[in-house]
């Protein structure tokens, strides 16, 4: 079991890094988007081996589904994608910003006192999350209904955006 999880982790990690490098280094932006989707999907696999089944499901739904579709649509609606990435002036600032971000992330990863569970949790988490979100006593009923109002605002906003010519 432990061995299998270790193998799965290293395979997934290799695929994630390979896909991420393909996103950055690839010349064709559409292929880069597809590699980004692969990267998101394998991160869902990482969530699975961490026994976070709800996060894995949401990762597939939101990142692979929604964000992947949005990025691919954005590329397909853009006229000048065949020429590749045209930006040349922002290369140095982008490098500096990227390195700063990397340094911040590495610092946070190293300096955080991670809480580690000794045993692998055996119970699925989705039911517990549902109880915490929807139950009558300690649930978040009002925020949940307000989320519906937020989504309603998003729908109406999308309609207004499309109708404006």
Partner 1 sequence: MLGNFGYIGIFLISALGFAIFMVLIPPILRRSGIVPKKPNPTKSSTYECGMETVGKSWVQFNFRYYFFALLFVIFDIQVVFLYPWAVAFKQLKLFGLLEMLAFFLILVVGFIYAWRKGVLEWK
2-25 helix and 29-49 helix, angle to the nearest 10 degrees: 160
User: CB within 8 A of 35, min separation 6: which ones?
Assistant: 19, 20, 22, 23, 26
Query: 152, 123, 66: which is closest to 131 by C-alpha?
Result: 123
Residue 147 CB partners (closer than 8 Å, separation 6+): none
CA distance 4 to 30: 34
Which range touches partner 1 (CB under 8 A), out of 15-23, 88-96, 109-117, 142-150?
142-150
96 in contact with partner 1 (CB under 8 A): no
Q: Is 65 in the site for partner 1 (CB under 8 A)?
A: yes
Instruction: Say how many residues make up the chain.
Output: 165
Residue 29 interacts with partner 1 (CB under 8 A): yes or no = no
- Give yes or no for residue 15 binding partner 1 (CB under 8 A): no
Report the distance separating Cα 16 and Cα 25, nearest Å.
14
Contact residue for partner 1 among 17, 69, 96, 100 (CB under 8 A): 69
User: What distance in Å separates the CA atoms of residue 69 and residue 24, rounded to the nearest whole number?
Assistant: 19
Closer CB to partner 1, residue 62 or residue 99?
62
Residues 42-61 that bind partner 1 (CB under 8 A): 48-49, 51, 53-54, 56-58, 61
Closer to partner 1 by Cβ: residue 78 or 104? 78
Binding site for partner 1 (CB under 8 A): 1, 5, 8, 48-49, 51, 53-54, 56-58, 61-62, 65-66, 69-70, 73-74, 76-79, 81-82, 120-124, 126-127, 129-131, 133-136, 141, 144-145, 147-149, 151-152, 154-156, 158-159, 161-163
């Amino acid at each position: 079991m432990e061995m299998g999880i270790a193998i799965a982790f290293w395979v997934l990690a290799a695929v994630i890094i390979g896909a991420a490098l393909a996103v950055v280094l690839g010349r064709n932006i559409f292929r880069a988007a597809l590699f980004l989707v692969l990267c998101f999907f394998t991160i869902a696999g990482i969530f699975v081996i961490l026994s976070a089944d709800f996060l894995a499901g949401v990762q597939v739904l939101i990142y692979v589904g929604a964000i992947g579709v949005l990025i691919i649509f954005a590329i397909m609606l853009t006229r000048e994608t065949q020429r590749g990435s045209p930006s040349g002036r922002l290369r140095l600032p982008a490098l500096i910003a990227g390195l700063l971000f990397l340094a911040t992330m590495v610092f946070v990863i190293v300096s955080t006192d991670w809480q580690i569970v000794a045993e692998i949790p055996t119970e699925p988490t989705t039911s517990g999350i549902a109880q915490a979100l929807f139950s009558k006593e300690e649930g978040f009923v009002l925020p949940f209904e307000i989320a519906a109002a937020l989504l309603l605002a998003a729908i109406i906003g999308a309609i207004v955006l499309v109708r404006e010519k």
